[in-house]
Amino acid sequence: MKKIICMLILGFVTTTSWAGAQTWCVFDPLGTQGDISRRLQDIRLYALQHKTQLKFDTFKDEKDAIQAFDQHKCSGLVASNFHTYRYNHFMGSTSGIGLISNNRVARMLLQLLTNPNVEKRMLDQNYEVLGMIPIGTAYMIMNTQQISKVSQLKNKTIGILENNPPQLALVQSVSAKPVYVDFATAVDSFKQKKIDILAAPAYGVLPYNLKKEFGESTQVVNFPVAYFAINIVIRPQAYPNGFGHQIRTWFVKNSNVLAAQAMQWENHLPAYYWADISGYEKQGYEALVAKIRNRYVDSGYYDAYFVELIKRLRCLDDPKSLECRR
């Protein structure tokens, strides 16, 4: 009799240790066969080992994924760091202009996701960030003549995201003309010559023959503007205690693989597309970006702790950069 009771208790504990299947609304412009969706399958298997079942509802338009999440049709959201800013300013700041400078710095950030000082900033009463899938540095892609000086950006049309004041301020600071785009329309706007310059990661244009489809003068300026990544946000109340930490542990363990994939995408962009600007112009642009970035740190738009942390990581990566010189 005791044996039967123990078996019943064990069965109850085992059953209740499993969370009900949770659905994540996923933005993947390539659908269920895209790189983001494939990476999520790895996370799904890892979560399964920790007694949590995940299901994915995939959207090719990011607005639809966010809307479904806000309507509580799913307990998790997988979307860009630009548009998950509203749920967590710390990890939303990963999209900040002039902050994460390359994939190496992104990798170092991933390695810190279980650090207590970092981890506590990824959780509040309503939302929790589980991790970040690196996509790569956003560069200026131009279908106009080569621009070697910041002053040559004057009167050029530049695509920016709505509700992103720092991007607007940066464009206005170089006397260019902002044109609002979203991830669903940005490439088409560029292709149709509605904008002269598009900021995008190499991953976003790899499917295209740039010179054939966008024009012979198309080039990618080898200077980082911002960093593009996919953040995973959940409503923690729907998950077992410790679930967020477990998934962040997965990101720490896989930080090298995740960053290496983003590096590979950038390396796949043929060398003849890249355009370099002089060291002098780079310094001038860095100073301009830093000035605008600091304005939005002071206003509280960018998370101050994140900015300081990333500055330290950037200086570890490149001690000779302008901001790291003593």
Structure tokens at 193: 């010559």
Average pLDDT over residues 82-103: 95
In a domain, 319, yes or no: yes
- Select from 315, 320, 310, 256 the least CA-distant residue to 97: 310
Average pLDDT over residues 217-245: 93
Mapped to the 3 state alphabet, what secondary structure does 127-160 carry?
CEEEEEEEEEEEEEEECCCCCCCHHHHCCCEEEE
Q: Do 173 and 190 reside in the same domain of the chain?
A: yes
Q: Do 49 and 81 reside in the same domain of the chain?
A: yes
Q: Do 164 and 127 reside in the same domain of the chain?
A: no
Q: Do 169 and 314 reside in the same domain of the chain?
A: yes
Average pLDDT over residues 72-96: 96
How much is the pLDDT for 273? 86
Q: Are 212 and 206 in contact (CB under 8 A)?
A: no
In a domain, 49, yes or no: yes
How much is the pLDDT for 146? 65
CATH number of residue 164's parent domain: 3.40.190.10
H or E element that contains 306: helix 304-317
In a domain, 168, yes or no: yes
How much is the pLDDT for 326? 64
Percentage, residues of the chain above pLDDT 70: 92
Q: Do 174 and 244 reside in the same domain of the chain?
A: no
How much is the mean pLDDT over the chain?
Answer: 89
Rounded CA-CA distance 288/292 in Å is 7
Q: Are 255 and 111 in contact (CB under 8 A)?
A: yes
Q: Is the pLDDT of residue 159 over 80?
A: yes
Query: Mapping DSSP to helix (H, G, I), strand (E, B) and coil, where does residue 235 land?
Result: coil
Q: Do 192 and 300 reside in the same domain of the chain?
A: yes
Q: Do 116 and 251 reside in the same domain of the chain?
A: yes
State how many domains the chain has. 2
Q: State which residues form the domain around 200.
A: 138-227+274-324
In a domain, 25, yes or no: yes
In a domain, 4, yes or no: no
Give the DSSP letter of residue 123. Answer: B
In a domain, 15, yes or no: no
Q: Is the pLDDT of residue 2 over 60?
A: no
Q: Do 191 and 236 reside in the same domain of the chain?
A: no
In a domain, 48, yes or no: yes
Structure tokens at 51: 């007694």
In a domain, 122, yes or no: yes
Q: Do 280 and 131 reside in the same domain of the chain?
A: no
CATH number of residue 242's parent domain: 3.40.190.170
Percentage, residues of the chain above pLDDT 90: 63
The model carries a pTM of: 0.89
Q: Do 189 and 315 reside in the same domain of the chain?
A: yes
Q: Do 180 and 297 reside in the same domain of the chain?
A: yes
Q: Do 199 and 315 reside in the same domain of the chain?
A: yes
